[in-house]
Structure 1
Amino acid sequence: MTAEAAAEVIERLAVAVGPSGDWSGHSLRRGFATAARAAGHDPLEIARAGGWVDGSRVLARYMDDVDRVKNSPLVGISL
């Protein structure tokens, strides 16, 4: 299956279940990375499982996004 065919299948399934927006294989890959990091998994293991090269700046940005939210001083306070 080509990347284009996979993206088409993902788009059709996403439309069928309701969320709107642009969906692709990238959406699933990034979603995996951010969900795994939010669950506390090690970035190196996430990189290996997701096929990112060692030192990937893109993956590092995904990890930073999750960590920034998780470590926000607003977490755990009632505002």
Structure 2
Amino acid sequence: MAAAERTEGPHCSCVDRHGRVAPPIFRHGRPIGDPTGRITPQGAAQVVERAGGNAELPGFWSGHSLRCGFATAARQASHDLIAIGRHGGWKDGSKVLLGYFEDTDTWEENPLHGTGL
């Protein structure tokens, strides 16, 4: 951003294939995407899909993977479920939020681990 002499505006902006911060995009004189140049949810999804494919990671990668990754990482860091939900836009007590948590280490996360049983 400093190289583009931008000191304000969106943090996540569109960047072209040459590494330049892209200006707002217009089609037929009408702005498309976000008029401030902010990356759109669709743009973020494309970045995740391409990165997953280019890295040849197993599974299906989408923009939604960012929500799953956030929820799982926050839970692993022992953050409060209400705080995780509020930050991610889920309602307090949302059962849907629980579906976003992925099992990463089934032994360490096992409720019997450390109980002596």
Q: Shorter-chain TM-score category?
A: 0.5 to 0.7
Tell me how far 1:16 sits from its aligned partner: 1.7
Match of 1:55 among 93, 109, 113: 93
After TM superposition, the score normalised by the length of structure 1 is: 0.68
Aligned to 2:69: 31
Q: Which stretches in structure 2 are left out of the alignment for 5+ residues?
A: 1-38
- Percent sequence identity is 51
**Distance verdict in 2 for CA 1:62–1:9, change over 3 Å:** closer
Q: Compare the two structures and name the one with the higher strand fraction.
A: 2
**Aligned position for 1:15:** 53
Match of 1:72 in 2: 111
CA distance in 2, matches of 1:7, 1:26: 7
Aligned residues: 73
Q: Greater RCO between the two (CA within 8 Å, min separation 6)?
A: 1
Q: Gaps (5+ residues) in structure 1? A: none
**Structure 2 length-normalised TM:** 0.50
